[in-house]
Chain A
Amino acid sequence: MSQPFTTIYTFYRDGFRSMTVGRTLWKIIFIKLFIMFVVLKLFFFPNFLKTNFQTDAQRADHVLDQIIRPAVQN
């Protein structure tokens, strides 16, 4: 590695190694990100329009149907 990249790498490596409270905080951050992106996002929060429609034209059509519903119902 060239000198600047080595310096930056060492800076981050040593920084992470010397953490005290930071270790606990990183654990919390990783657990939180796991819960958010692996559990919540995948199983509970699918993107409704991306999951149920293939193209943007279909998505637009669906939303348009939703917002003209009152006129159609009347």
Chain B
Amino acid sequence: MVDVDLSLVNWSRAQFALTAMYHWIFVPLTLGLSFLLAMFESIYVRTGDEKWKALTKFWMTLFAINFAIGVATGIILEFQFGTNWSNYSWMVGDIFGAPLAIEGIFAFFLEATFFAVMFFGWNRVSKGFHLFSTWMVAVGSSLSAVWILVANAWMQHPVGMAFNPETARFEMENFWAVLFSPIAMSKFTHATSSGFLLASLFVVTISSWYLLKGRHVEMAKRSIVVASVFGLLASVYVGFTGDEAAFENAQKQPMKLAAFEGLYKGEQGAGLVAAGIMNGDKKPGDSQAPFLFEVKLPGLLSLLANRESGSFVPGIDDLVYGNSEQNVMGVVDKMKMGRLAVADLADFKQARLEKNENGASDALTRFNINKEFLGYGYLNTPEEAVPPVSTVFYSFHIMVILGGFFPVLFLAYLFYTLKGRIGEVRWLLPIGVSSYFLGLVAQQTGWVVAEVGRQPWAIQGLLPVKVATTNLAVGNVQATFFMFLGLFTLLLIAEIKIMLKQISIGPEGI
């Protein structure tokens, strides 16, 4: 049993979620808009048409505003690691140190060189070198995102490491296994491509507003062509990478996949819920129906999860209580082994304290047998291993429905652009104006799916969030939560005001 103040854990969670979700408003737009800038400028360099240059400079100003407001907010997460999550940050320091240091150094050199040329270098360096710098900002921003996503992926699927009971740290054994973990790869491709999609929606939103107002019409039409093609390709790719991410979840984090779908009883030929209303009273192991209403597509979940339509997909009850017929080990059994691992670790420490080397060696041998279940030893009940199912289910379905809507929107924009009527389609433009905000909803629900879906784990199966926290006074965490809320609200207001002012000024000369 672990006696911790759950309100402390939940306030620490809330503070981290607030910071990460705020940070995630800016990052995907930076990733995607940098590529659109490079495309706009490539057209300028190829055609020599000064209107493309003015257009590029306009979007570059909005990119700068987004970047300036978002930059460094991620560092607050690192402060929180040291203060609120000291056990966790000590334990993972060896794994995270390398990727985060590479990210920091990479980002610094990228920003000090190519960012400067991109913003200061118009008419001062050659067109070719300026374009090269803009592409380097785009490629470099995405590469810089690799490292933080690798670190996050490691928490969801810890590979390439060994736990050292002497130092209480996970130590890296295979850097390449960490870097090329399948979860890291699917996270990187899904997160970056969703950034490309969001940036395309951003351009469509502002351009549609100009078309509705009858201002900067030529620039808006040119921007829409590029953004719609890029957005369409990105949204299709997001679908593929999302499918790959769900497949990896099914293999490595089956509880998370079960929560996506509100699947309590495992099935062969499991159906995918297209839409549904969950029964809020449903608990693991009870006999209540999980849904008040649902529309299911037969066999599709099995196909997505295992690439076989008749295959078995374990549900929450199977994963909690076990299913011997399907060879699924339950949390109940894992908790027994986890408790042995924790007890063996305690014996190891005691033996070391007493300078009993044989005792320490025996305890270590026993610990190694059950160490992969270490985290389950901290759970008080098997049901604690289940994430908040309704939150994950609705977030997942909102994200997927929006993900299905965006390619249709881009197709409609391309269709009317080809017909030469995009400025006249009055029913479509207001939808376009709202599309960036829908994109933000998809981004944020995606974060909820990934991070709430893996609860209660800080490190999957090895360290629950409640053991990762520092034992602080709840009041301190509450106070800093509201300080962040105030700071982030002010920064967001500043961004919106500066952004709206620049949009209202518009590009020069088009």
Contacts and interface: CB of A to CB of B under 8 A. Distances in A.
Interface in A10-51: 11-12, 14-16, 18, 21-22, 24-26, 28-29, 32-33, 35-36, 40-41, 44-50
Given A11-B124, A45-B82, A63-B87, A40 B342 contact: no
A70 B86 contact: no
B342 A28 contact: no
Nearest to B494: A28
Contact of B346 (A60, A63, A68): A68
Contact of B76 (A40, A64, A71): A40
A49 B90 contact: yes
B345 A67 contact: yes
Interface string B58-91: 0001001100110111011001101100110111
Contact of B72 (A12, A33, A68, A72): A33
B467 interface: yes
A46 to B, nearest CB: 6
B72 A29 contact: yes
B82 A71 contact: no
B120 A28 contact: no
A48 B83 contact: yes
Interface residues of A, number: 41
A63 B91 contact: yes
A54 interface: no
Contacts of B75: 36
B116 A21 contact: no
Contacts of A32: 72-73, 491
B405 interface: no
A12 B342 CA distance: 57
B470 A70 contact: no
Interface string B334-364: 0000010011011001000000000000000
B41 to A, nearest CB: 18
B473 interface: no
Contacts of A14: 120, 124
Contacts of A41: 79
A12 B377 CA distance: 57
Contact of B86 (A22, A28, A49): A49
Contacts, number: 122
B68 A28 contact: yes
B480 A44 contact: yes
A7 B171 CA distance: 46
Contacts of A65: 349
A22 B480 contact: no
A69 B464 CA distance: 14
B48 interface: no
B463 to A, nearest CB: 8
B187 interface: no
Contacts of B89: 49
A47 B93 CA distance: 13
Interface centre among A14, A64, A65, A69 (most CB of B within 10 A): A64
A6 interface: no
A2 interface: no
A73 B487 CA distance: 41
Contacts of B65: 21, 25
B2 interface: yes
Given A28-B491, A60-B90, A74 B1 contact: yes
A70 B380 CA distance: 10
Contacts of A64: 165, 168, 345, 349
Nearest to A47: B82
Contacts of A56: 167
A4 B472 CA distance: 53
Nearest to A15: B120
B323 interface: no
A68 B83 contact: no
B502 interface: yes
A66 interface: yes
B3 A46 contact: no
A15 B125 CA distance: 12
Nearest to A48: B86
A70 B483 CA distance: 34
Interface of B: 1-3, 61, 64-65, 68-69, 71-73, 75-76, 79-80, 82-83, 86-87, 89-91, 116, 119-121, 124, 165-169, 339, 342-343, 345-346, 349, 377-378, 463, 467, 470, 472, 476, 479-480, 483, 487, 491, 494, 498, 502
Given A15-B121, A73-B2, 17 more contacts: A12-B116, A25-B68, A25-B498, A28-B491, A29-B68, A32-B73, A36-B72, A40-B483, A45-B79, A49-B89, A64-B165, A64-B168, A64-B345, A66-B467, A67-B91, A67-B168, A70-B377
What are the 4 closest A-B residue pairs judged by CB atoms, nearest first? Answer: A15-B120, A47-B82, A71-B346, A25-B68
16 contacts: A16-B120, A18-B120, A21-B64, A33-B72, A40-B79, A41-B79, A45-B80, A48-B83, A50-B82, A63-B87, A63-B91, A64-B165, A64-B345, A67-B345, A68-B346, A71-B377
